[in-house]
Homo-oligomer: A and B are copies of this chain.
């Protein structure tokens, strides 16, 4: 299959590589020449614009930082819709708000193209390994059309419902995640202050009604889970600023729907405080620093300069 791929960042590049490995031909576009060059060396063809990348292909995939980029890549004069043939499906794997998804889908529909939102979870690790989860919003027929392409990049392809529901699923999951991580941080730090061995406490929570991914897989207290970012100074993992972006999408979507999100809005402020303190690039589980006595000092001194290395989202 010949595929146009636009957006070769930390996530997009390994996803595109997996498409090449699966035997697909790729037209790639990115503003970074280095990013394009790396894909060309792996066998892709460079395109001079989103329009060129979308011309003469059977599928287009976009993986971009924010909704404004997706809209512009679609509808600019040298954008995807200027080059794509009628009927060719467009997959947007960016994480953006559901309202923008609907606007993009409408633009595509006017042009005769099916559009699915297919945000991912699994981080850069999952992108490299081809084990991402794709949450797909769109019609049943569009879903069937794009599923084979997605299977070259991920192992869980879930049809969530109509256009936009892929984003809704991702936003709602990460809302729970952001809350439960801060909740676990609060409880582990309280336990520590009250004198219980935190490894014992983690063990009890993980086999009781408090168990959750934030505790049993990614526990924010150092010494509880050996493979969690807490065991390596909160480097790598899912960056605080990325969690902030997702909680921003959640609280914005909630505002649009006139839906209260008490805990989500508060959790957002906690991660915001971390970011204000210069810890935005640390893994989001570093939020526990707000609760531990040495926290204030650490948050200032541990400023992550390595950024988000992937890991789960």
Contact = CB atoms under 8 A, between A and B. Distances in A.
B258 A275 contact: yes
Nearest to A182: B263
A259 B189 contact: yes
B261 A186 contact: yes
A161 interface: yes
A14 to B, nearest CB: 19
A254 B280 CA distance: 15
A253 B192 CA distance: 12
Nearest to A294: B310
Nearest to A262: B269
Interface stretch (A16-24, A40-48, A172-180, A223-231): A172-180
Interface residues of A, number: 91
Interface in A209-256: 209-215, 218, 244, 248, 250-251, 253-255
22 contacts: A160-B196, A161-B195, A168-B196, A169-B201, A171-B190, A172-B187, A173-B204, A176-B183, A179-B180, A179-B263, A182-B263, A186-B264, A208-B213, A255-B268, A258-B272, A260-B273, A260-B276, A265-B268, A273-B313, A277-B313, A297-B310, A299-B313
Interface of A: 98, 121, 133, 135, 156, 158, 160-162, 164-165, 168-169, 171-177, 179-180, 182-184, 186-191, 193-197, 200-201, 203-205, 207-215, 218, 244, 248, 250-251, 253-255, 257-270, 272-273, 275-277, 280, 290-291, 293-297, 299-300, 310-313
A253 B194 contact: yes
Nearest to A184: B176
Copies of the polypeptide in the assembly: 4
- Tell me what chain A mostly uses at the interface: helix, strand, loop, or mixed: helix
B296 A310 contact: yes
B208 A173 contact: yes
A48 B213 CA distance: 50
Contacts of A277: 296, 313
A191 to B, nearest CB: 4
Given A183-B180, A266-B262, A297-B311, A175 B190 contact: yes
B272 A195 contact: no
B179 A179 contact: yes
Contact of A259 (B175, B211, B248, B276): B276
Given A172-B196, A190-B259, 5 more contacts: A173-B204, A173-B205, A183-B263, A194-B253, A294-B310
